[in-house]
Structure 1
Amino acid sequence: MQYLLFLTACAVALALLLPAATGLFHGSLQHEHWLETREKDHKSPKKQKVVPPLVLDTFQNPTLNDLGFWHGTGENLTVQHEPGLVRLFPTDPDQNFHTQFNTHGCFSLWPWQNQFLHVVFEGTDRFSVSLNEHNAECNPRRSPFPGISDSVEASRYTMRTTSGTVNEGGDADDEGEEDVDADTRGTALGSPSESRCQREKEKTQVPGQTQLYIPLSHFHIDQSRVVSVSFHGFYTNEPLTLRRVEIVPMVPPPSPANGHFRMPGKLPTGNLVLRCTRPNSFAFGIDDGQPQYAQEVKRILDEENVRATFFVVGAGLRDPSTNFTEFYRQMLREGHQVALHSNTHPKMEGLSTSGEIDDEIIKTKEVFKDKLNVESSYFRPPFGTVGARMRQRLAQHIPNPFIVNWSVDVEDWIWANTTTPEKQLDAFYQGVARGGNIAVMHFLNPTTVRYLPQFIRHVRSAGLQIMRIDQCVQSP
């Protein structure tokens, strides 16, 4: 009888306390905190605006997610799909799996801004998770696409639950008060009595799971124009099985069943740069090359009165046979920018330990200071490979680093040594036409160097002013 009275009390409490749930929408943008209270007058009870969880992907379809938009792979990632899961077999940190909020335009996560990205998975947690911002035009035919992203390291947010009593939705049951950090305060729905009643009704037995809970606030991008969630930056060949990707309002409280999981703090990850912010600007980011072509590059830049940014590998500065130390000293004297490009040019996100990543950063900083007397905060990742660990370690060693990739690719790495080297021109022209304004090129091949004056004149014919990258991103 007491149990029936308790359930009746729960039902009454729920009826009185739960606000009406709003429907899911993808159109108009609502700039409301989802826990924002509204009062008609000083005597009116407070009400809460509740946004229901957003289920992005349960992998029922091999090509479309639960929102009806594309999900799939890049960089030749091998996958195996079964209803309810997708299994990834990574071999390279550049490989990735995206699931999109919208294929054709931008999607706003503002209604869910204080909620959490929740991922149910099996296998390795040695990868990065990114929330990807669309470009300013919300147009996949414009460059860059996707736009910038912010990344977190999956292993820092992994919650492993053992089989036992949990709440529906995978929330572990916990006796006593919740004790969560600032990132998770205010995320429990309703009052303490309501939560207690809800847990009593919803407790059930489920097998153990591996899950990620990541505050959306830990992704420092413009969340009014999101395009996708991606999984990438693998530093293992162990498979990863994804079962569910969604946005949820709550994180399970710490308990023995989930290893007393607590939300970690957000680590700094620097500024990812793909394009200039200064109006009508363009910048050439020239990566290391062959010493025999260095003076020809200098001659062209002098004749065209252009200043560029050179990304330099530390090992080349240490090798006296290259004469790179004197060359880059000369470029610095003439007003060019010289920036970091690692010590030995590995895919840094694929290195097995953070210590190896640190070694690449520290040694290139040391040789820059020793040989060039330069302390740069600009870094171009070798091969353009970007992930959370590399970004976090850069931010540990360099205050507010700029991680610079590109939005125009000359594709010299594809065409320079072929019978059709002129396709480098086609690639460059196409990148500029799509709106890109930071280029990547090398001076590894004479054909690329020969085309440099044509690259420069094409940019000027488009009405763009050429400058260094630090200038085009308006760095102080």
Structure 2
Amino acid sequence: MRSPLSLIAPAFAVALLLPAATSLVHGPYELQHWFETRHERTKSAEGPRLTPSLVIDTFQDLLHNDLGFWHGTGENLTLQHEPGSMRLFPTHPDQNFHTQFNAYGCFSLLPWQDHFLHVVFEGNEDFTVSLNENNAECSPNRAPFPGVPDSVQASRYVMRTREESSDDGTDDWDEGFKLVQQPEMKKPPPTNNSYRDDVHDDNGQAPAYSERTELFIPLSHFRINQHRVVSVSFSGFYTKEPILIHRVEFVSNIPAPSPSNNQFTIPEKLPTGQLVLRCSRPNSFAFGIDDGQPQYAQDVMRILDEEDVRATFFAVAAGLRDSSTNFTTFYQEMLKKGHQVALHSNTHPRMEGLPTLGQIDQEIVQSMLTMRDELGIDCTSIFPHHVGMTLTKDPNSLILPPPFGTVGARMRQQLAQHIRNPYIVNWSVDVEDWLWANTSTPEKQLEAFYRDIARGGNLAVMHFLDPTTVAYLPQFIRHVRDAGLHIMRVDQCLEDPNSPNL
């Protein structure tokens, strides 16, 4: 199952301008806030000049960053703006905050490819930082928008610098960066979230020393197409502590290790799963079908047989172990018919929101063991360049769609610790059965499906939780065929060399 909006969903929520600067705001995404601004590498008669730092956001404006583009929230993330800072109040890992490079064209980061993403913030360190790639057409009218992100775990790149406060009560940034006065911290309005004031003690007095928290992340640690980035984002929050962001930019160097910054050095880039939103094979289309209600399973099998198409099923391990569902028998039959069965976690939580890496590991490992024990699928068989799942002589690519579509750095990294180069699959076509199936207007599932096909999507997510969704499946299949697309399994549409021949 998925959430109403994920990090990579095709629309964001943007803050609505309210009279009070300290108001808590959120609202719908608006394209009119985006326009193109571009910094280019310049040359002189003496030769190439060093590329200056690129300041992306100092949060002087509620709706726009320093490049003139929109910044704002998705998934109903509450925020509080004051000139010079943006405070976020996360409650679950799907929530996100984006600050964008542009919208109607591709922005190239190649002039800054040797730089570091520098973020100055306070509070919550338990989140994901992503650079988000645009789609191939660089258009918000094409699916997916935005395209795939690559993500890192913020806490691995934190530099804490303890320094004495100046006489006037303000602190300066490190030598080599532009001097900026740090805004005064104020208490937020009442909220159920916890809040930590790091600047003043219980008596309201500024301490003799203050600790500044910064991120320095090499741009090379984000493995995306740097010719077409669309935004920097913060998401994957797995605690409810607020975060106060002051500055987002690219800088050419980092402070040298010293006692004052705890001998900070850049950590290594951890292996991570490859996030997939669309098929790569030309003119292909794939249905990713999540677990559903056992009573509708045979109807799904019958429709796929009648339409003579193959699909990929994402099985929750707990359902396989529950003999009352008969899912093990169902998936065994689907495997014999040539369908693909892939991991979908152990108990279907938002994995990035789990508090510990050990709990994320349990979701992955227990799912792998159950697939082996119940379906004979080996998730550890190593093929060239990746790990696959095998059933007798039928190799299937290892694929894990994150429950609810929730994607974050910790889940991606932990999966790659167990399995080399796994695919993490989301979608570019959303049936929206989670939204419309059990309503008075279930036909809106068809509208959503047709809309995303028209926008260029070719990898669908759906469930068999409701009879209306199952009943629409033949119409989904025929619409795809009428569009001239060839329906196949997810591993086949991704051109996995170990997938069965078409």
Pick the TM interval, shorter chain. Answer: 0.7 to 0.9
Return the letter of the residue paired with 1:170. Answer: D
Return the letter of the residue paired with 2:273. Answer: G
Q: Which position in structure 2 is the counterpart of 1:90? A: 90
Cα distance in 2 for partners of 1:153, 1:27 equals: 28
User: Structure 1 residues 302, 29: closer, same or farther in 2, change over 3 A?
Assistant: farther
Deviation at 1:279, TM superposition (A): 0.5
Deviation at 1:373, TM superposition (A): 1.1
Cα distance in 1 for partners of 2:308, 2:118 equals: 52
User: Structure 1 residues 113, 435: closer, same or farther in 2, change over 3 A?
Assistant: same
Q: Which position in structure 1 is the counterpart of 2:432? A: 411
Q: Which position in structure 1 is the counterpart of 2:447? A: 426
Return the letter of the residue paired with 1:444. Answer: L
1:170 aligns with 2:158: no
Return the letter of the residue paired with 2:162. Answer: T
User: Which has the higher Rg, Structure 1 or Structure 2?
Assistant: 1
CA contact (8 A) 1:165 1:172 kept: no
Q: Which position in structure 1 is the counterpart of 2:226? A: 223
- Which of 326, 338, 341 is equivalent to 1:323? 326
CA contact (8 A) 2:122 2:243 kept: yes
Residue deviations 1:224-273 (CA, integer Å, cap 9, x gap):
10000000000000000000000000011100110110100000111100
Return the letter of the residue paired with 2:446. Answer: L
Cα distance in 2 for partners of 1:475, 1:101 equals: 33
User: Structure 1 residues 432, 232: closer, same or farther in 2, change over 3 A?
Assistant: same
Cα distance in 2 for partners of 1:227, 1:444 equals: 35
User: Structure 1 residues 171, 467: closer, same or farther in 2, change over 3 A?
Assistant: farther
Return the letter of the residue paired with 1:213. Answer: F
Deviation at 1:208, TM superposition (A): 3.2
User: Structure 1 residues 454, 212: closer, same or farther in 2, change over 3 A?
Assistant: same
- Which of 396, 419, 422 is equivalent to 2:417? 396
Q: Which position in structure 1 is the counterpart of 2:400? A: 379
**Secondary structure of 1:278 counterpart:** coil
CA contact (8 A) 1:151 1:388 kept: yes
Q: Which position in structure 1 is the counterpart of 2:136? A: 136
Q: Which position in structure 2 is the counterpart of 1:282? A: 285
Alignment of 1:67-146 (within 5 A): 67-146=67-146
1:467 aligns with 2:482: no
Cα distance in 2 for partners of 1:49, 1:339 equals: 51
Return the letter of the residue paired with 2:452. Answer: G
CA contact (8 A) 1:172 1:258 kept: no
Return the letter of the residue paired with 1:332. Answer: L
CA contact (8 A) 1:172 1:253 kept: no
Residue deviations 1:201-243 (CA, integer Å, cap 9, x gap):
xxxx995310000000000000110000000000000000000
**Secondary structure of 1:452 counterpart:** helix
Cα distance in 2 for partners of 1:423, 1:238 equals: 37
1:305 aligns with 2:326: no
Deviation at 1:171, TM superposition (A): 4.8
Cα distance in 2 for partners of 1:170, 1:424 equals: 53
Cα distance in 1 for partners of 2:142, 2:209 equals: 46
Return the letter of the residue paired with 2:467. Answer: P
Q: Which position in structure 2 is the counterpart of 1:176? A: none
CA RMSD after TM alignment: 2.2
Deviation at 1:55, TM superposition (A): 0.2
Q: Which position in structure 2 is the counterpart of 1:66? A: 66
Identity %: 67
Cα distance in 2 for partners of 1:150, 1:276 equals: 18
Deviation at 1:26, TM superposition (A): 5.2
Alignment of 1:229-268 (within 5 A): 229-268=232-271
Deviation at 1:400, TM superposition (A): 0.6
Cα distance in 1 for partners of 2:96, 2:466 equals: 30
CA contact (8 A) 1:442 1:448 kept: yes
Cα distance in 2 for partners of 1:141, 1:256 equals: 50
CA contact (8 A) 2:109 2:229 kept: yes
Q: Which position in structure 1 is the counterpart of 2:473? A: 452
Cα distance in 2 for partners of 1:29, 1:468 equals: 43
Cα distance in 2 for partners of 1:29, 1:69 equals: 17
Deviation at 1:306, TM superposition (A): 0.4
Q: Which position in structure 1 is the counterpart of 2:299? A: 296
Residue deviations 1:273-312 (CA, integer Å, cap 9, x gap):
0000001110000000011100100000000010000000
- Which of 363, 366, 369 is equivalent to 1:363? 366
Cα distance in 1 for partners of 2:38, 2:78 equals: 34
Deviation at 1:324, TM superposition (A): 0.6
Deviation at 1:475, TM superposition (A): 1.1
Q: Which position in structure 2 is the counterpart of 1:154? A: 154
Q: Which position in structure 2 is the counterpart of 1:354? A: 357
Q: TM-score, normalised by structure 1?
A: 0.83
Cα distance in 2 for partners of 1:117, 1:277 equals: 30
CA contact (8 A) 2:37 2:102 kept: no
**Secondary structure of 2:473 counterpart:** helix
CA contact (8 A) 1:164 1:257 kept: no
Runs of 4 or more above 4 Å deviation:
25-30, 164-169
Deviation at 1:399, TM superposition (A): 1.1
Alignment of 1:428-443 (within 5 A): 428-443=449-464
Cα distance in 2 for partners of 1:218, 1:133 equals: 14
Return the letter of the residue paired with 1:293. Answer: Y
User: Structure 1 residues 440, 140: closer, same or farther in 2, change over 3 A?
Assistant: same
Q: Which protein has the bigger helix share?
A: 1
Q: Which position in structure 2 is the counterpart of 1:337? A: 340
Cα distance in 1 for partners of 2:227, 2:37 equals: 11
The size of the alignment, in residue pairs, is 410
**Secondary structure of 1:293 counterpart:** helix
Deviation at 1:103, TM superposition (A): 2.4
Which stretch shows the higher mean deviation, 127-136 or 319-328? 319-328
User: Structure 1 residues 210, 289: closer, same or farther in 2, change over 3 A?
Assistant: same
Structure 1: gaps (5+ residues) = 1-24, 41-45, 174-204
